[in-house]
Structure 1
Amino acid sequence: MKVLKWLLIAGGSLVVLVIAVLLLIPMFVDVEQYKPTIEKQVSSAVGRPFAIKGPLKLSLFPWAGVAFSDLHLGSPPGYTEKEFLVVKSFDVRMKLFPLLFKDIHVERFVVEGPRVVLERDKAGRGNWEVWGAPPEAAAPKPGAPPPPKGPAGGLPLKSLAVGEFAVRNGSVVFIDRASGARHEVSDVTLELKDVSLDRPIRLMLSAVKDKLPVSLEGRVGPVGPEPGKGKLPLDVSVKAFKELSVNLKGHVEDATANPRFDLVLAVEPFSPRKVFAALGTPFPVATTDPAALNRVGLKSKIQGSTQQVRLADGVLELDESKLNFSAAAKDFSKPDLAFDVNLDKINLDRYMPPPAETAATAPKKDQPTASKKTDYTSLRKLVLE
């Protein structure tokens, strides 16, 4: 009994000592002094300027956590926009002891105010394409043996549980220097709920594009103990521009090795003209009847893999017309296409281009135009049924 008593006392003292150490380390260790080293190492690894301008905090008990604010990751040299990524704040907390048993328990993973600037220069190269050291610096020395490849293994954990996962108030800016175009998606918010390996994950994504809301909601999973293997159920709905509603339901199987999918796509009837009007973009198709192409809906089963795709039980609604269809494609290098189409009725005159207002733009008969030979190589490879 005395031995057991002393063992319990020793064990309890050890636990208290470990907890005390975990509590005291963040109090006596100045994490700020390591910021220059962290910034230098990250900058060297990614080949871009990197800085954490706000405070850096570390905690070890009861949750192991890291928090920082005002993070800046720059663009590579040669781009007008100096900032590639800015993060207002970041906070992650997770339990420490369950990691010893390959259990991951995350209490909080929150990113506030991320801003990503994607810039394409006049040569067509994006600032997201250049990373790390120059190729000649990273190339292995001649004659050096290739690094050994370790055996592929599954996800090294038994369980996963995340309490709060959120990205809030984000924005993405795209700038094309060649065309002068600039687009921005703002108010980006992503939330994941019920994150685990054995339950469906609920996801909610919302954003604003040109003052118009875009949202995505649905469920994905459960992903299982080996993500990427087996069936991954999904049921996702997208709503955009106050007009468009799309639902995708089904499953993806063996996504990492030999992906196959069995899905049902449903696009609720909408007006393409209203969508383009909401975007402030001219409608790209001119028709004799200005009311044509004002209602489009689509439903179809989609099955396939990386080698073939099959559409079944398809229904396309175009204004007052209804088109039932099925199609299949395989051997994508030399496309083998088969399709079956049944159209109930259509007035083609409505969809013809409007007559030209004047004949001034018609080419003159006494001015021969240079003929350009059409390349039919890709069409010759087609196999149609």
Structure 2
Amino acid sequence: MKAFRIDLDRLRQAVTATLPADAAPPDDDAAIARFAAGAWTVLPEPGDGVAGMVRQRLGDVRALQLLVEGESLSGWARELGDPGAVSGMQAALARWQPRLGAERILGAFAQGAAHDQRLLTPADAQWPSGIDDLGPHAPAALWLRGDPAALDACSRSVALVGARASSGYGELVTGQLAAGLVSRRFAVVSGGAYGIDGTAHRSALASGGTTVAVLAGGLDRFYPASNDELLRRIAATGCVIAEAPSGVPPTRWRFLARNRLIAALASATVVVEAGQRSGSINTAGHAAALGRPLGAVPGPITSGSSTGCHRLLREYGATLIERPEHIVELLDGPEEEAAQLDALTSDEVRVLDALSRRAARSVDDLAVRTGMAPREVTASLALLELGGRITERASGWVRA
């Protein structure tokens, strides 16, 4: 039996190699779905909106089947149910077909397994829901080194980004902000680069917090090479992720595409230090487009390293950030609102801290996260709902 013209046993072996060692072997449908998701990290460049559109409308499996079968444009239009939807399809097919070889896709799985990578798909419990806000520009899957559970912390996280050529001032402020966020139980997200990114990760690690690095190239070779030890430490305690499979080098356009993942993954983005044309301005733009809170740290008006931050304050409506408390206010509201937490019981605080603003969580999930009995969680949820602090959805509870 074959799928996508590949022997099904071979396909299943490739997929299984990128699952946790203790995971149950996938059935045929699950293996085919995971393979298709992985294939869609190989075929298009990151952020390809046409690929996202066909995957959203047809699903990863059917879209890959049509591509493998060499479907015509009229056939794509028929499948999509909208002749207008094929706009740009001819150019997209021309981009994807050179990468369509079965060995190339199977090789991505083999290389991923060889470098202890997991393939994370939206079907996995650890999939970060904020990524879905990218719509057709969201990745089909993520390659990950480290602990996938670290991504749960991204529901309450801050992206600290900035210049690679950072100053002593920028690094000092970054270290203070990252340490302050960790002490307030926030995770720190950044891009693993030199300068502000690396300082943010190091400070989070030194403070015993969770940090996630998002890279622009494949995870078989960490980049930049000088940060290899840092990125290995991040993978040992948190995780390093990329949408590109192994063997794909980081390039300028992939760095820019990577920035949208940083903005979507984090609850808020803060640019600590950036010149007028810094890539972190691009990250800030994605955060603003996604409706994520955006902050910027001011610097001396004589410093070219802070002109980008000042531009964000003037033109993007970024919030001025001086201390960790300002970032907390950016996410949780003014200090007087935070002070109202004193009126809650310890159980209510534990449940509230375990809730996300985006991902709905069930009573059983909250019981695991808080260490409380389900009946105690239910009682706290009822009181928090009466206080207007949480909202019930079909799939669980979220912070209001």
Which TM-score band applies after superposition, normalised by the shorter structure? Answer: under 0.3
TM-score, with structure 2 as normaliser: 0.22
Instruction: Give the structure with higher Rg (CA).
Output: 1
Question: Which structure is higher in strand share?
Answer: 1
TM-score, with structure 1 as normaliser: 0.22
